[in-house]
Structure 1
Amino acid sequence: MNIYLIAIIVANVLFSIKGFSDIAFFRKYEFHMGSIRAGEQVRMVSSAFLHADWAHLFFNMFTLYMFATVVIDNLGNFSFLLIYMGSLICGSLLTMVFHKDEYGYRAVGASGAVTGILYAAILLNPDMSLYLYFIPIPIPAYIFGIGYLLYSIYGMKAKNDNIGHTAHFGGAIGGYVITLIKEPQMLTENTLMVILLAIPIILLFILEKAGKI
């Protein structure tokens, strides 16, 4: 496994485990709108290394593991790190935009960064399929990616957990844009996939403008 991928997974696991057992640590570094607006911008990055529970941590790290190699093999280590961190920051920035007046808003998770890697991998390898243990047939990766973001819309509307669902979209936008900047030929060589992956992102902004989120 790539050393940079290992380092990111280890950082997420160690930071999250500390947060599971130390509520003061968790509260100090989670995404909390009031604290960030008071000047604690470090939370915009640190919150992406915390997770709500073991299932949340496992799902994010498993998704990262499944898709990161595609990005690394196609674009190299630097671009992988650029997309991961760029998507992380985009996720936090979009969360700031959507929840700027909700001073009590809290969220954690690497979902924004991971979704950025997911979107980058699908753009780079549109024919990729996934084998999920509870579904006996291969699932096209783009179906998984689109479904992931549609589920995130539900999570944003429900607001019944501490997971940063808004960050999923910010991360997707980050991974989508950075990958297309680095590989602009995809706009003509892979036009259909570029359009398909844009659909849930566009839907999000339509719903937000309509006041549905």
Structure 2
Amino acid sequence: MEKSVFAGLTVLILLLSSVSLYLSSESDDFNNSTNFSSRLVPVWERVNQPFNTTGSYSYTLEKGQYDIIGPESVFIDVELPSSELGCTITDDCKVHLGLWVPNVPNGTKIPVIADVGPYYDDGDVDALTPANRLGKFLIENMVPHGYAVAQVSVFGTGMSNHCMDFMGLSEQEGINAAVTWLGTQEWSNGNVGIVGKSYDGTTPWQAAMFGNPHL
């Protein structure tokens, strides 16, 4: 009986040792393959991080190295079919945006983050003023890290002309034109991301329907 118990315990210890070694090996492989420990602060230590919670939005823990240049006021030509009327009568359809860029070395290509919506100068600040609802957060956090940020007014709002056309053809074409412009400038690396919520959350979907290579 004692021999049977001893043999059983021996087998159990060997099995547990194998499982422990396997899990340890898997954990090491995961950490090595993802460089997890060097990229993220462990969850249990994040409470000790010096987060700035004094404002209406959060800040990156590490400040970016680039100064912010801007805003630049930009009017983008948009081609619309004559059936859209409005600005097509004078053939002068334009979407407006405010642009902030990082002060990077000459020749450096940078990606773009855009917020596209109807609120600039319509119940909120104009497109050339960092908006508290999203734009200011993006400009102060992302531009110093090497991203351009654009605040874009859809047709019929802010300094964009024409008529407002909620999720209609005019609005879709205006957003697509803004994406193309942002992705084809000499300073751009051709990659444009659009972010937003509520109304501004519909505009990325409108941009995506065109299959724009810069989006």
Fold match (TM-score > 0.5): no
Give the structure with the larger strand fraction.
Answer: 2
Q: Which has the higher Rg, Structure 1 or Structure 2?
A: 2
Give the structure with the larger helix fraction.
Answer: 1
Q: Give me the TM-score of the superposition, normalised by structure 2.
A: 0.27
Q: Give me the TM-score of the superposition, normalised by structure 1.
A: 0.27
